[in-house]
Homo-oligomer: A and B are copies of this chain.
Amino acid sequence: MLKDLIIKNRSYRRFYQEKSISTAVLEELVDLARNSPCGANKQNLRFFLSADNEKNSIINKCIFWAGYYTDWDGPEDGEKPSAYIVIVKDTSAGSGMAQDEGIAAQSILLGAVEKGMGGCIIANINRKDLKQLLALEEKYEIALVLAIGYPKEKVVIEELKQDNDIKYWRDEKQIHHVPKRKLDDLILN
């Protein structure tokens, strides 16, 4: 059931870093994005794959994790993602819609979950440095970074409290809690 995949597809930020992921697997995930819809069929998204220590550590340096955790600057060594897929826009292929990036990211992460992995969409990126460090041509613009690995943390969805505070939080057992609005509160009619 798709719903099981969607529920399992939480934003994971701590991983079993020792479990490697092959670029062949990353290619299978990109193929899911390739077969997903995009505005006016422009297909202007491109994908930079990283599944080795060297490239991963470059990407690690240019991304910022979990904005609400002011006392945590990302996964420590041993718990970092085993792979990344950097979603890039090819500006020479026409202006795509930002929604396309979300569609591609969701397809890729659902695919990762189906394979027993999990990940996180990261939008807080030092795009200038990352573009330079990955030696991307001028025409490419970095859109999103997807961190992918074998999740080491437990993430639970819970109902949004009356104070309407949507900030996720970690408890003393390092369980990550995500308050979600109720279905009734999302439907306008």
Contact = CB atoms under 8 A, between A and B. Distances in A.
Q: How many copies does the complex hold?
A: 2
Interface stretch (A14-22, A27-35, A75-83): A27-35
A180 B34 contact: yes
Interface in A1-26: 1-3, 5-7, 9-11
A32 to B, nearest CB: 5
A1 B47 contact: no
A3 B27 contact: no
A106 B114 contact: no
A1 B32 CA distance: 11
B186 A114 contact: no
Interface string A93-112: 00001111111111101110
Contact of A166 (B43, B157, B178): B43
A127 interface: no
Given A9-B36, A41-B168, A97-B98, 18 more contacts: A3-B32, A3-B35, A6-B35, A7-B35, A10-B37, A30-B183, A34-B180, A34-B181, A35-B157, A37-B106, A41-B167, A41-B179, A45-B186, A47-B186, A97-B102, A99-B144, A100-B102, A110-B110
